[in-house]
């Protein structure tokens, strides 16, 4: 089916209030996804006013947004919202039973969040219906009391198959829609049935048939997301360890923002975390798998080094690296009092790296995965490992995640993951974790030509930094899991003696 769309973009001229507007886009689509009926794609007869829209949604968002797993500002109240952009992807009508779809970029303003004083920006895809079908009851956000959507129910749109189909159709046919731009690198078949994965943390994902997976970024930042940038670079380099992006979409105003990436779905591949837990439960080691995973990691690092710049870490930058780790440790200790007794011992790991920064040479740095663990690795039935999710640690600013770093950072993340798996199983199997860690480093060394254990100061520092991050994450999101990283904290602090 052919597709045509006319778009009008209106800039808000209203004064800044507790709910403010940057850009509002209203889209009238004459034709859309082939799976939607003609009655569902007629043009909207009035624009959605940005300020009125957000003012009417704010009471619902105040309740709903902080409860999302991907909301980063837990523990602090939201004082107000501001609207960065709004796009009417599927027109919202006053009649009819089909869905409307609003794409919003919204800033949540909170007190005491110095990392981003302008507020974190979130991507919302809101379905709008006059009556919500029972099958979508769990996705309900609430009924709008006033404004342009008065009397209608808004809900998490990704739960709606019709909305999910529309997103794929937009990616099938590149172009612009208000401030949104859709791109693709190859043809995408139509008619693939969508399903929403229910295991998401910092993002949301839709699987289409068994062919593609669309990751929707929730907390978004200006600039190209590494989960698009790095797989594209690896694809150009011919690295088969990472699924190459097939399509993506982004916001173009007021600044470019990566919003979603479509990649091949690795059907039948096993999640490394689940495979490791299965091995523990069966009482068998994971050494061959860990060794092969080390090789896969090294191959990705070699490809990234070939595709992108590999500067040297100057001594001053080494000291800055250690200082940043120390600052994160101190901030985490303020938030999690259980860390306080271990701070002196943990700090020695960072001091050792800072001391090396007073020399004349530094480590080679390059682009890395940035958040590597067993859950980011998929193993095919033939034993072939693939790495996914190159976004980096979502809690860290995008410029930091895109910064070249020592490859040992990824190694440290995987070593921590083996320990995490072993600690989550009862009884704890220290020998299992040690065997996996050694095998992983051996596999890495064979492919890379250098053993990450030959840089003990840097490896210990990155393991410590990762464990501190884990403590803070678990304290905020999964308090029952806090003893797992705290066990590593005790071990790493004792290494100073």
Q: What is the pLDDT of residue 11?
A: 29
How confident is the model over 19-24, as a mean pLDDT? 45
109 φ/ψ angles, rounded to the nearest 5 degrees: -95, 130
Q: Are 224 and 258 within 8 A, CB to CB?
A: yes
Give, for 278, the enclosing helix (H) or strand (E).
Answer: helix 272-282
Tell me how far apart the alpha carbons of residues 201 and 418 are, in angstroms, rounded to a whole number: 20
Q: Are 231 and 390 within 8 A, CB to CB?
A: yes
Q: What is the pLDDT of residue 95?
A: 44
Q: What is the pLDDT of residue 393?
A: 85
**Per-residue pLDDT reduced to its tens digit, 238-269:** 999 999 999 999 999 777 899 999 999 999 99
Q: What is the pLDDT of residue 359?
A: 60
How confident is the model over 469-488, as a mean pLDDT? 92
Q: What is the pLDDT of residue 246?
A: 98
**Per-residue pLDDT reduced to its tens digit, 65-100:** 999 989 988 878 999 999 999 999 998 865 466 899
Q: What is the pLDDT of residue 34?
A: 33
pLDDT, the chain, mean: 87
**Per-residue pLDDT reduced to its tens digit, 122-162:** 999 999 999 999 999 999 999 999 999 999 999 999 999 99
Which of 131, 45, 161, 57 lies closest to 92, judged by CA?
A: 45
431 Cβ partners below 8 Å, 6+ apart?
none
Report residue 408's pLDDT band, with 50, 70 and 90 as the boundaries.
very high
Report residue 360's pLDDT band, with 50, 70 and 90 as the boundaries.
low
Helices 408-423 and 456-477 sit at what angle, rounded to 10 degrees?
Answer: 50
- Given a cut of 90, whether residue 49 has pLDDT beyond it is no
Q: Coil, helix or strand for 283?
A: coil
Report residue 497's pLDDT band, with 50, 70 and 90 as the boundaries.
low
How confident is the model over 364-377, as a mean pLDDT? 96
- Given a cut of 80, whether residue 113 has pLDDT beyond it is no
| 252/48: higher pLDDT | 252
Q: Which structure tokens are listed for 250?
A: 């982004």
The pTM of this model reads 0.86
- Given a cut of 90, whether residue 396 has pLDDT beyond it is no
Q: Are 332 and 468 within 8 A, CB to CB?
A: yes
Q: What is the pLDDT of residue 94?
A: 52
- Given a cut of 90, whether residue 37 has pLDDT beyond it is no
How confident is the model over 370-390, as a mean pLDDT? 97
Q: What is the pLDDT of residue 376?
A: 96
Give, for 205, the enclosing helix (H) or strand (E).
Answer: strand 203-208
């Amino acid at each position: 089916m052919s597709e045509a769309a006319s778009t009008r973009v209106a800039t808000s001229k209203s004064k800044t209030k507790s709910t403010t507007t940057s850009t509002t886009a209203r889209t009238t689509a004459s034709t859309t996804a082939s799976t939607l009926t003609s009655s569902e794609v007629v043009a909207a007869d009035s624009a959605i006013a940005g300020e009125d829209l957000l003012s009417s949604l704010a009471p619902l968002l105040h309740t709903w947004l902080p409860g999302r797993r991907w909301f980063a500002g837990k523990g602090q109240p939201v004082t107000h919202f501001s609207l960065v952009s709004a796009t009417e992807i599927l027109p919202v009508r006053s009649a009819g039973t089909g869905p409307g779809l609003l794409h919003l970029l919204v800033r949540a303003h909170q007190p005491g969040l110095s990392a981003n004083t302008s507020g974190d920006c979130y991507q919302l895809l809101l379905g709008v219906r006059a009556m919500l079908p029972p099958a979508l009851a769990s996705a309900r956000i609430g009924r709008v009391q006033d404004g342009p959507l008065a009397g209608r129910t808004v809900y998490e749109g990704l739960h709606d198959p019709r909305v999910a189909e529309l997103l794929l159709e937009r990616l099938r046919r590149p172009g612009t829609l208000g401030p949104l731009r859709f791109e693709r690198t190859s043809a995408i078949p139509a008619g693939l049935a969508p399903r929403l994965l229910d295991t998401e943390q910092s993002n949301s994902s839709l699987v289409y048939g068994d062919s593609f997976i669309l990751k929707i970024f929730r907390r978004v930042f200006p600039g190209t997301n590494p989960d698009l940038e790095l797989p594209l670079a690896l694809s150009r380099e011919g690295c088969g360890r990472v699924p190459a992006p097939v399509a993506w979409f982004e916001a173009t105003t007021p600044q470019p923002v990566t919003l979603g990436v479509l990649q091949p779905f690795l059907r039948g591949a096993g999640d490394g975390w689940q495979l490791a837990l299965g091995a523990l439960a069966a009482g068998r080691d994971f050494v061959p798998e860990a060794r092969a995973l080390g090789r896969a990691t090294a191959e990705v690092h070699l490809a990234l080094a070939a595709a992108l710049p590999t500067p040297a870490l100057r001594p001053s930058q080494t000291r800055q690296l250690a200082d940043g780790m120390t600052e994160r440790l101190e901030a985490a200790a303020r938030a999690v009092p259980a860390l306080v007794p271990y701070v002196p011992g943990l700090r020695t790991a960072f001091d050792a790296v800072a001391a090396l920064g007073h020399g004349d040479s530094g480590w080679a740095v390059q682009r890395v995965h940035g958040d590597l663990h067993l859950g980011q690795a998929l193993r095919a039935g033939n034993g072939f490992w693939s790495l996914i999710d190159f976004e980096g640690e979502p809690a860290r600013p995008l410029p930091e995640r895109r910064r070249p770093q020592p490859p040992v950072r990824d190694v440290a993340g995987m070593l921590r993951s083996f320990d995490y798996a072993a600690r989550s199983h009862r009884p704890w199997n220290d020998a299992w974790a040690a065997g996996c860690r050694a095998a992983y480093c051996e596999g890495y060394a064979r492919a890379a030509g250098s053993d990450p254990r030959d840089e003990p100061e840097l490896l210990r520092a990155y393991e410590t930094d990762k464990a501190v991050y884990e403590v803070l994450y678990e304290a905020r999101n999964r308090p029952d899991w806090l003893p797992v990283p705290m066990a590593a904290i005790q071990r790493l602090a004792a290494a100073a003696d």
